[in-house]
Structure 1
Amino acid sequence: MKFRYFTILSFVLLIAVLSACSGSGGIASNSSRDTVTVKHDLGETKVPKHSKKVVVLELGFIDTLLDAGIKPVGVADDGKPKFINEQVRKEIKGYTSVGTRAQPSFEKIAALRPDLIIADSSRHSGVYDKLSKIAPTIALKNLNADYQDTIDASLTIAKAVGKESEMEKKITEHKKKLKQLKEKLSDKKQSVLLLGNTNEAITVRDQNFFTSQLLMNIGYTYAVGDSKKSDAENGESVNIKMTVEQLLEKDPDVIILMSGEKDKVDQNGKRPLENDPLWNKLSAVKHHKVYKVDRFAWSLRRSIDGANAVIDQIEHDILK
């Protein structure tokens, strides 16, 4: 009798264990169906499929999210919304500033209870673990991104939010736009340089920068090579520093002068550099091939939409 009792009891317990295992497997399976594993610069992360509440810690990621039909709930905008393209600002109206790109506020990010955080792999590598404790976090290049890095990051973000096909279509359209402009430039072999701040020294973007590579993809030759990476705060690459004499040695056919809020200008709106006799010896100056553009648009908007905006400005203002 006792033997029969223990046999029945053992059978019941076995059924219970198997049921529990089956239930556990079911949970794991559901969890797998509800997430997607995303490879990024700092590893692999399981993120919820179709994330809706997303925080971005670099400005270039905003466009990509909008292309995927998602408005970020939080943006590290340095407390300066004007860094963001005016039309884009309207589209993301109501977002919460989560501090600076260099030092985002963990408290503000956590308060938003995001489904996903998109960080910059150079700026935020040191705080990646802290961000991951708040929400699933992927880290991609934007601060020091070149053109291809930007394309790759767009596809990764699209995968993270379940919009890969839409992003592939966006990239195809962009490539077509780029090719059409390249055909217009095909018979014009011109060298170009991107100049930034000119207050104390002339600062030039190197050929690995996002916009520099975009210009080369369009058909320009970039007039300088690589710069050395700096060990400065935030891991930002240092612009190539030049004197007017060194700039004259390069003597590019086209100069893109990126304007910014810190530039010193005289009452006529000219920088001191533009009154230097050597500046007026440059081929670009002599042939009226110096173009002033907005630094935020040409430097901070590292995205497919940012690239398209640069292409449009080249076609309408520079190749006019």
Structure 2
Amino acid sequence: MISLRQRGRWLGYAFACLAAVLLTACSGSGGSGQAAQDAGPGFPVTVKHAMGETTIPKRPQRVVVLDTPEMDAVTLLGIEPVGAAVVDPATGQFPAYLKDKMARTEKVGSLDEPSVEKIAALKPDLILSSKVRHEQIYAQLSKIAPTVFAETPGAPWKDNLKLYAKALGKEQEAAQALARYQERARELGEAIKAKHGGQAPTVSVVRFVDGPTRFYQKKNFSGIVLSDVGVRRPPLQDKDDFSLDVGPELADQADADYVFVMAYGDPSKTQKQAFQASPLWQRMNAVKNNRVFEVEDEVWMLGIGVQGAHLILDDLARAAGVDPRR
């Protein structure tokens, strides 16, 4: 038989054990909770992308981007990248429309040849680009930091934004930004149609580059924006393709209610002068009606994202003489 004194000892021991177990459990729970708190809401997260799956352990703070779609996306979502590749060799600078949002961003080489060493030196916690641009260095980049690639820039720019937003933990912000853009594009399209008696006008996009001149069609960034607005395209551009290479002999096929022209690189190496001096160009209705507009190549061609899209809407509003709906 156990004495009262022994029973007291056993009860004390039992309570001590129980307290120790509870303390250990609480400590373990607290540590896990602290780790989750440090990672940020929604992290870690596994993202499926063009190169497979990548797990991002915590909300990224030091992001490196290697093309303009990624620059537009991360700055839209309130993040200044620590490093970025230079896309336009003519200027050697980041896009002017993003300059204020990338004031402290370091250059990590060019779009064609980003420096893996410079990227590594920045100690990023996320790298963003696309398979079509940088597939060959993906293995090197993924050893530096979690790396997420879209398939290609251009036409799928809205889906690419959603992909990058998931990697950044900013999905809600991206969805709201896209919704605002879509609504503005719709409203602007209605205003432009009203200005033209209820019928959508035609819009032409001509890009002068070193080599053949390009008529841009519907399956590209600016083509998607124009489709969102609801304008029509001239016959050679009304195709679900990227672009059509043309010479001065087809200059008049660029005619439309509004013609937007831009140049990439050194204008003296393009056909711009020959095109615009051509009698075929000069007889276009757009030329006669002063509806040919010079616009920024870094916006219409390279500004692939919501911020760039809004600038295209600004250009359309100015050309048509309607409220920009900003």
TM-score, structure 1 normalization:
0.78
Which residue number corresponds to residue 191 of structure 2? 184
Structure 1: which 5+ runs fail to align?
1-22, 228-236
Which residue number corresponds to residue 158 of structure 2? 151
The match for 1:106 among 90, 98, 116 is 116
The match for 1:243 among 243, 247, 260 is 247
Deviations 1:142-198 (A, max 9, x none): 53x21xx11111111111111111111111111111111111133233222211116
Which residue number corresponds to residue 282 of structure 1? 284
SS at match of 2:245: strand
CA 83–283 in structure 1, closer or farther in 2 if over 3 Å, else same: farther
Asked if 1:51 corresponds to 2:84, the answer is no
Q: Which aligned pairs between 1:6-85 and structure 2 lie closer than 5 A?
A: 34-78=43-87, 83-85=93-95
Question: What is the CA–CA distance in structure 2 between the aligned matches of 1:160 and 1:61, rounded to whole Å?
Answer: 12
Which residue number corresponds to residue 206 of structure 2? 195
One-letter amino acid matched to 1:272: A
SS at match of 2:262: strand
CA 157–204 in structure 1, closer or farther in 2 if over 3 Å, else same: same
**Does structure 2 retain, via aligned residues, the 8 Å contact 1:181–1:315?**
yes
CA 162–201 in structure 1, closer or farther in 2 if over 3 Å, else same: closer
Deviations 1:190-246 (A, max 9, x none): 22221111665322223211101211221122232255xxxxxxxxx7x42112333
SS at match of 1:190: coil
Out of 121-130 and 76-85, give the one that drifted further.
Answer: 76-85
Structure 1 residue 141, shift from structure 2 partner? 4.5
Question: What is the CA–CA distance in structure 2 between the aligned matches of 1:37 and 1:260, rounded to whole Å?
Answer: 38
Asked if 1:212 corresponds to 2:214, the answer is no
One-letter amino acid matched to 2:160: A
The match for 2:312 among 304, 310, 315 is 310
- % of aligned pairs identical? 29
CA 102–138 in structure 1, closer or farther in 2 if over 3 Å, else same: same
Q: State how many pairs are aligned.
A: 280
**Does structure 1 retain, via aligned residues, the 8 Å contact 2:291–2:319?**
no
Question: What is the CA–CA distance in structure 2 between the aligned matches of 1:200 and 1:76, rounded to whole Å?
Answer: 25
One-letter amino acid matched to 1:215: L
One-letter amino acid matched to 1:203: R
Question: What is the CA–CA distance in structure 2 between the aligned matches of 1:219 and 1:213, rounded to whole Å?
Answer: 10
TM-score, structure 2 normalization:
0.77
Root mean square deviation of aligned Cα: 2.8
**Does structure 1 retain, via aligned residues, the 8 Å contact 2:215–2:254?**
no
Q: Which aligned pairs between 1:264-283 and structure 2 lie closer than 5 A?
A: 264=268, 271-283=273-285
Asked if 1:118 corresponds to 2:128, the answer is yes
The match for 1:97 among 107, 116, 140 is 107
Question: What is the CA–CA distance in structure 2 between the aligned matches of 1:79 and 1:258, rounded to whole Å?
Answer: 14
Question: What is the CA–CA distance in structure 2 between the aligned matches of 1:273 and 1:293, rounded to whole Å?
Answer: 17
